[in-house]
Amino acid sequence: MTDTLTDIVRVGVVGCGQMGAGIAEVAARSGLEVMVAETTGEALEIGRTRLHNSLSKAAERGKITEEERDATLDRLSFTTDLGEFADRDLVIEAVVENEQVKTEIFQVLDQVVTRQDAILASNTSSIPLVKLAVATSRPDQVIGIHFFNPAPVQKLVELIPALTTSEDTVLRAEAVVQGVLGKHAIRAQDRSGFVVNALLIPYLLAAVRMYESGIASREDIDNGMELGCAHPMGPLKLADLIGLDTVASVADSMYAEYKEPLYAASPLLQRMVDAGRLGRKTGAGFYAYPAA
Ligand SMILES: NC(=O)c1ccc[n+]([C@@H]2O[C@H](COP(=O)([O-])OP(=O)(O)OC[C@H]3O[C@@H](n4cnc5c(N)ncnc54)[C@H](O)[C@@H]3O)[C@@H](O)[C@H]2O)c1
């Protein structure tokens, strides 16, 4: 195991949205060399700015020194060409929660990543890992590495081996996540929702239904759980933070898997997604988020 801890040096992150940027930051702050890929130059610029701002904030708050911020930035590179991931030891995909898009990315990664025992990971919240694994010619090396939002802050990572994933891949992923990235890893089977979302999503959906049926105001629902149960954030604020499209698509995947009504997204949630009110990332969700 000793050399497996150190033989992952070059990391690729696909997607530089909320999660991809956070994962890239965690990996670069841990001393890894990180390349981030996005679809277009414009998306890449947005992602780069997001990462720079987050690192500058961390430095302002004294969480890292200015030297550490600059050294972290030096370890980050950006591209719109997945072909540049040829020399990566570990790739973590963090694009939109869409099975078709993710499958195509895994097919491309399988073609371009030259290292035979490279780990190909997905940050998916709900798509069966086995579907991404069998899209490649190396299904034993595909695994779910599921970070939590915001990735630089949250300590937990879920490791989800597909039916096809080798124990060696799981152990190497665990060594990086715990030994290098400093996160706490828990393992879950490849079942929709894994551990945390299987418990969290029905709770968020219940809060949306409660708001929709007029039982209480959004503030009272959130205050209820913050002040009554000591949750750091009420469920509607948390749904806005996660992104309502992500909440709805995770719920849809869990509903498709289990056919349980408690996993069904309510009409209001669907309409908000259709309206593009996705939460903090679009400036409006259950609450308004005026641009800073
Ligand atoms: N938001 C959360 O709280 C959370 C938590 C854990 C896991 N996740 C999972 O992480 C993944 C990303 O979620 P997010 O919240 O960061 O979404 P997001 O919408 O903020 O970011 C997605 C990014 O992917 C990019 N993208 C789309 N197609 C791409 C492609 N072909 N190549 C490269 N980039 C591409 C988009 O341009 C966008 O920047 C999803 O699978 C989601 O389920 C989200």
Q: What is the DSSP string of 193-241?
A: TTTHHHHHHHHHHHHHHHHHTTSS-HHHHHHHHHHHH--SS-HHHHHHH
Tell whether ligand 1 has an atom less than 6 A from the beta carbon of residue 43. yes
Q: Which atom of ligand 1 is nearest to the CA of 14?
A: 33
- For residue 219, indicate whether it is catalytic: no
Q: Which two tokens stand for residue 23?
A: 């994962």
Which structure tokens are listed for 11?
A: 């990391």
pLDDT for the residue numbered 126: 83
Q: Is-catalytic flag, 231?
A: no
CB of 101 shorter than 6 A to ligand 1 = yes
Q: How far is the CA of 19 from the centre of ligand 1 (A)?
A: 6
Characterise 31 by phi-psi region: left (phi > 0), alpha (psi -120 to 50), beta (else): left
Tell whether ligand 1 has an atom less than 6 A from the beta carbon of residue 127.
no
Active site residue 125: yes
Q: Which of 25, 38, 97, 158 is catalytic?
A: 158
- Nearest C-alpha to atom 8 of ligand 1 is from which residue? 125
Q: Is the peptide bond before 150 cis (omega within 30 degrees of 0)?
A: yes
Q: What residues pair up with 37 in beta bridges, in sequence order?
A: 14, 79
Given 123, 192, 197, 253, the catalytic residue? 197
Q: Which of 122, 125, 126, 192 is catalytic?
A: 125
Tens of pLDDT, residue by residue, the chain (292 residues): 444 455 899 999 999 999 999 999 999 999 999 999 999 999 999 999 999 999 999 999 999 999 999 999 999 999 999 999 999 999 999 999 899 999 999 999 999 999 999 999 999 988 899 999 999 999 999 999 999 989 999 999 999 999 999 999 999 999 999 999 999 999 999 999 999 999 999 999 999 999 999 999 999 999 999 999 999 999 999 999 999 999 998 999 899 999 999 999 999 999 999 999 999 999 999 999 998 6
Q: How far is CA 149 from CA 191, 239, 261, in A?
A: 20, 11, 26
